[in-house]
Structure 1
Amino acid sequence: MPSRHLRLAPAPRPSRILGWPTVAGRNGGFVLGIAADPDQDLSVGYSYDNAGRLSTVTDGADTFTYGYLANTVGMLAETEGPAHTASYTYEPGRNALTVVENEETVGTVSTVSQYTYRYDALGRRTDRVDEGSAFAQAALYDWTYDDRGQVTAADRYLGPDPDSPGASVAAETDAFDYDFIGNRLTSTFGTASQRSYTVDSLNQYTGITNPSAGPTHDDDGNMTYDGVGWYFEWNGENRMIEARNYADIMNPSSGAVRLTFTYDYQGRRVEKTVEEYDVPLASMQTVSEERFIYDGWNLIATFSSQVSGLSHQATYLWGQDLSGSMQGAGGVGGLLSVLDKSSSDVFYPTYDANGNVSEYLDETGAIAAHYEYSSFGRVIASTGAPDDFAFRFSTKYQDNETDLLYYG
């Protein structure tokens, strides 16, 4: 069986081996481990139906099953997992997703979250109703667009009736204005003061108000300073290799944090090191060092680098993303489960129609975390510890130190 070797640390630390068995010309899954125990860390298997569509994904402990609408090439009807079932409803005549319902199935079957959408003639979503036990109250979101399809207003209303919304919630009413090329000119978030933007001839933001910020960029257009405290450095392939919250790299002080990143030959981020300023030692000290392993561009395992070797932190099981394939949409909406190796607890994400994580359910079907987002990913409500789960908005890994998402 062919395998691919990925050395995560210099000798004498053990390497990890990633191998891919196949079935009848299709991907049969993969194993992750060491030479003496190839599936020590993770063993994933895929099966297919008679039409060649992905039918099940399993890691040996849990199995996820896909069901498809009759007389379609690959339109999902439901995804069934150990703790919940996600079901999908579409608009007649086109594949516009109108309802995503996430039901807890371990105990009494109940709706954890449900998202109901409507569309205009151009296929743009005009409103969405959020309801289910995860929400404090059912709510309606309504979007307005300009003639270029850009969101100019996003309003939230309490109640589930889009035809009779009542008064909007002032604190969650957003507005946007753009120039002729799509750069923001102004934005307003809830009751906060209007924010304005200054853009240069390269379409880079050079000034922002409320709060005041003056971002800077290098000659390739990469942001080198966000204007509010974080400085960034990039390699020749325009990948971030450093982020720090202090200006003079030679003179850190109390509260200083520095992140450094390493990439493999494909440009995937395979290492993240976090340093913090130690006041008694008067120097930056490493507080964590993470290693990342991928199947394609999907993160499947994280390890913490220790003096004694690598300590397994978490594994991630993936299935179909929003594209209907394994990674056609970059994994968005495709994460099936997260295993915390330190506690052996497994968590199952649920999604809205955009592939944003709505909840994480534990093995009993209880809600471990819940997230609600604005139109552009700002978290407007959440439950659970904010740093417990790395994948949230757009199913992308979030660095909690900078709040930046890693899109690869």
Structure 2
Amino acid sequence: ICGTVSNVTTYSERQYLQEPEDAYSVTATDALGNETLSYFKADGSPYRAEGATYPTATALDANGNRSELRTWRDETGQPDITRWHYDQASGLVTNKVYADGKGPVYTYTSDGRIASCTWARGATAAYAYTDTADGSVQAVNYSGTTPDITNRYDLAGRLVAVDDGAGTRTLSYNVKGQLTAETNSLAALSRVYDSLGRDTGYDLSLPGFSTEVFSVRYGYDGAGRLSLVTSALNGTSNTFEHSFVDGTALVTGMTNSAGLCWSRTYEPARNLIAAVSNFWNASSISSFSYENDALGRRTLRVDAAPALSATNVFAYNQRSEVTNAAMAAASYSYDYDDIGNRKVSSVDAVASSYTANSLNQYTSISGGLACSPEYDLDGNMTWDGKFSHTWDGENRRIRSEPGETVTNGSVMVENIYDYQNRRFKKVVSQLSGRGTGYPLDPSQPGTWSAIETRLFVWDGWNIAAEIIIDTLACSTNIHYYTWGLDLSGAIQGAGGVGGLLADTKVSASATDTYYPCYDGNGNVTEYLDDTGTVRSHYEYSAFGELTTQAGDLADTFTHRFSTKPFEVETGISKYQHRDYIPTLGRWASRDPLEELGGPHLAVFCENDPLNQIDALGEEVINLTSLGPNGGTVNVTLEGLSLCEIGKKGVVKIAFVFYTHWNVNNFSMTNDGAIVVDGKRLDVTRKEAYDAKLKRKMYTYSATTTIDGEECPASVDKSVDIFISWTKTDANHPNPGTHMIIASW
């Protein structure tokens, strides 16, 4: 598989094994000589991988279902085993059992829809469905205090109302089935479309907090690329214009009407960012220049700003995990076990040692980051060394409170979520009135009082507005966020990473707009006011730890590392689906996609956040494959040996497409194809709703025959897989692929 002449991955011919019968191995050697050895059974199903990857072994039951996954923290030691149990009649998963012998239990309706999920800690969710043909989710009833969800649909099967933890929301559609209005207890958002049915923006009002309407409009160039974004509030407008590499959708820059512009250049033969520069008119604000190795990994970054420059050097192991980062005057190093858990990390001369259990959870950390993390039975971190965390029936963090030493002035964070797992409300409370003798003297426990409440209004997966109620200052401020093309080249294709254009703050006395600057990873490095003055400056470690913060407003901005909300109270980066702890370099809970996201359920960006981003907290995007994440997806597999062992030479090729959206009510018409050496095959498509993952799933399969009576040992083929779609439900105006899984 080739990117450039210098970046070639070569595949060996099949090496047949003595056992299992007709099994074989293939060795892939990358451009730096790192070898990954993959083992396949006679039918082509993979069952083991080792070398320059996390070592895994998979077992299948008699029906071809995965029954066992083995991983190794030490490849010379004993494996950690995850098992799946199935209902024999239906083939549906009834139990998942992790290495500690615990896991969720599922039941199903007579027609194969999930009826209930019981988590290992006892929390339950029960599902009810409409009696229509598609069987949309009508209600989800949770045990405990997790708010239930009730959905209502019109006669066309469109979602028109939802009752959830955020209250009641209603949705309206036009005659084409496009979402035109969405209202909830906070906001009313009305959408606009052009004559071609393209999304051209929205109007947002916050009736209980403002009489103004915040308007956003999108414009398209002659090539159909979204190139122009305009925002307007209280008679003041801003325009943001994107530029592109000729003939492509690769974004090369953005210029706004206030004076900010940034440029992005790429390597000549690869879609790899070579440099990013931020300017205010003709004055340089910051710039980042990159050098990439043959695998596309960043080995050098040179930062430049007025009166400031820094050289950063990076190194990796054979699995492309970051092992060393010399960043300005600081030096970081990391050592991992065979499945990606840290064994040792160090910052300058301060080292930390980690102990991981069979669930790949850190149970003890000594040295600079000394703590003993704790978890519930479903893998949610309940103690991180500073805060105790409480989780609800959807494994969402609903409370973080200080742990061992709680004194007056300590703060607690509480979160409420909507039906799509988006945080709708955040409340920060402060302790006062606690007696010095507590808890031995229980008469003076003190009182937790709310000092700040933040309310979030969402446009898909981007926050459109944030209402901040400051109880101590007796003030209410509103932040309106304007979004453009993120690192994917689309709006929300990369979960908004690198896509925030402006933060407009409305207070009782003024309206001020601030503009973010970025590095090549979509991390916010500065915010500028409308005079071009730097009001905040941020620097991060390789894993997103905030290492430098400057500027009089640095504490006030929400979006920072990876353009995600930063929780100043806990140090957590709040992704849309999960919480990330930068100091530990891992997620606080398991991957909602389970093993579809990889064998390690808590590792962050495969320990390579210099070259990968996570869009929503469950999907890794490699920065070597930047491009638009909407419309059409193409996957080309060159030089693969497509051949089953046997006389007929019949090859089955299949891939799975998961929708991006965490709801059942997303329908679309699409077209998937499999092309072998230019010949389009007849494709069978199967549509289903994956209730566990909460997204639509489309499976495509096809067969082809190798010429000749006998199937030769190796036949090189070019396989092109692609899928395109047209929205029929505009609940989410910017759909994108979540994941494509190909097998052959």
TM range (shorter): 0.7 to 0.9
Q: Is the 8 A contact 2:477 2:505 kept in 1?
A: no
The structural deviation recorded for 1:247 is 5.7
- Structure 2 SS opposite 1:113: strand
Q: Is the aligned partner of 1:22 residue 2:193?
A: yes
Larger radius of gyration: 2
Distance 1:174 1:305 in 2: 39
Q: Is the 8 A contact 2:498 2:523 kept in 1?
A: yes
Question: Residue by residue, what CA displacement relative to the aligned partner does 1:318-348 show, whole Å, maximum 9, x if unpaired?
Answer: 1111111100111110000001111311100
What residue is the counterpart of 1:226 in the other structure?
A: 384
Identify unmatched segments of 5+ residues in structure 2: 1-173, 175-179, 435-443, 577-744
1:204 to 361, 368, 372: 361
Residue equivalent to 2:568: 400
- Inter-CA distance 241–77: structure 2 relative to 1 (3 Å threshold): same
Q: Which runs of 5+ in 1 are unaligned?
A: 9-15, 158-168
1:76 equivalent in alignment to 2:251: yes
Give the match's secondary structure for 1:173: strand
Summarize the alignment of residues 141-160 of structure 1 with structure 2, pairs less than 5 Å apart.
141-157=312-328
User: For each residue in 1:192-217, what CA deviation from the matched residue of structure 2 results, as whole angstroms up to 9, or x when unmatched?
Assistant: 2x110000000000011123200001
Q: Which residue of 1 aligns with 2:466?
A: 302
Alignment of 1:190-269 (within 5 A): 190-192=348-350, 194-211=351-368, 212-227=370-385, 229-246=386-403, 253-269=407-423
Name the CA distance, whole Å, in 1 between partners of 2:487 and 2:523: 11
Q: CA offset at residue 57 of structure 1?
A: 0.6
Structure 2 CA distance for partners of 1:56 and 1:246, relative to 1, 3 Å: same
Question: Given residue 316 of structure 1, which amino acid in structure 2 is its aligned partner?
Answer: Y
Pick from 273, 282, 301: which aligns with 2:427?
Answer: 273
Note the 1:23-38 alignment, pairs <5 A.
Answer: 23=194, 24-33=196-205
185, 190, 204: which one aligns with 1:7: 185
| Deviation of 1:123 (Å) | 0.6
Q: 2:491 aligns with which of 317, 323, 326?
A: 326
Deviations 1:260-283 (A, max 9, x none): 111111111000111111228931
1:256 shift after superposition: 3.1
1:142-181 equivalences under 5 Å are 142-157=313-328, 169=329, 172-181=330-339
Residues 34 and 186 of structure 1: is their aligned pair in 2 closer, same or farther, counting only changes over 3 Å? closer
CA contact (8 A) 1:196 1:208 kept: yes
Aligned residues: 376
- Is 2:453 the counterpart of 1:286? no
Matched, 1:118 2:291: yes
SS at the partner of 2:464? strand
Q: Could you list the per-position Cα deviations for residues 110-141 of structure 1 after superposition, in whole angstroms to 9, with x for gaps in the alignment?
A: 211111001111110110111122xx431111
**Letter aligned with residue 119 of structure 1:** N
- CA distance change for structure 1 residues 247 and 64 in 2, over 3 Å: closer, same or farther? same
Distance 1:118 1:34 in 2: 46
What is the Cα deviation at residue 156 of structure 1?
3.2
Q: CA deviation at 1:306?
A: 8.7
Q: After superposition, what is the alpha-carbon deviation per residue over 1:376-395, rounded to whole angstroms, capped at 9, x for unaligned?
A: 11222221143121111111
User: Does the residue aligned with 2:547 lie in a helix, a strand or coil?
Assistant: strand
- Out of 272, 275, 284, the position equivalent to 1:99 is 275
Matched, 1:365 2:532: yes
Give 1:183's aligned amino acid: N
Give, in whole Å, the separation in 1 of the partners of 2:210 and 2:220: 24
**Distance (Å, rounded) in 2 between the aligned partners of 1:304 and 1:183:** 38
Q: 1:391 to 1:381 in 2, by over 3 A?
A: same
Show the counterpart of 2:222.
50
> Tell me, what secondary structure is at the counterpart of 1:394?
helix
Look up the match of 2:241: 65
Aligned AA for 2:278? N
Which position in structure 1 is the counterpart of 2:150? Answer: none
- Kindly provide the CA deviation profile for residues 252-310 of structure 1, in whole angstroms up to 9, marking residues without a partner as x: 65233221111111111000111111228931111122211010010111124599x99
- Partner SS, residue 269 of structure 2: coil
Mean CA deviation greater in 199-208 or 35-44: 35-44
Does the CA-based 8 Å contact 1:115-1:353 persist in structure 2?
yes
The one-letter amino acid paired with 1:197 is Y
Q: 1:6 to 1:310 in 2, by over 3 A?
A: farther
Taking only the aligned residue pairs, the percentage that are identical comes to: 40
Is the partner of 2:308 in helix, strand or coil?
coil
Task: Tell me by how many angstroms 1:236 deviates.
Answer: 1.1
**Retained in 2: the 8 A contact 1:103–1:113?**
yes
User: Quick one: structure 1 residues 396 and 39, their matched pair in 2 at CA, closer, same or farther if it must change by over 3 Å?
Assistant: same
Contact persistence 1:17–1:38 (CA under 8 A): no
| Contact 1:321-1:329 within 8 A present in 2 as well | yes
- Per-residue CA deviation, residues 35-65 of structure 1 (Å, 9 max, x unaligned), is 7999834111000011110111111210000
Contact 1:141/1:154 (8 A) holds in 2: yes
Question: Which is bigger in relative contact order (C-alpha 8 A, separation at least 6)?
Answer: 2
* Distance across 1 between alignment mates of 2:467 and 2:407: 29
In structure 2, the partner of 1:11 is none
2:34 corresponds to = none
- 2:562 match: secondary structure: helix
Mapped partners of 1:84, 1:256: distance in 2? 39
Q: Which amino acid aligns with 1:334?
A: G
Q: Assess, with a 3 A threshold, how the Cα gap between structure 1 residues 310 and 3 changes in structure 2: closer, same or farther.
A: farther
Distance 1:337 1:177 in 2: 39
Measure how far apart 1:34 and its partner are: 5.2
The CA distance in 2 between the partners of 1:362 and 1:51, in whole Å, is 33
Residue 139 of structure 1: aligned partner: 310
2:331, 2:347 within 8 Å by CA — same for their partners in 1? yes
Do the aligned residues in 1 keep the contact of 2:480 with 2:503 (CA within 8 Å)? yes
Classify the secondary structure of the residue corresponding to 2:393. Answer: coil
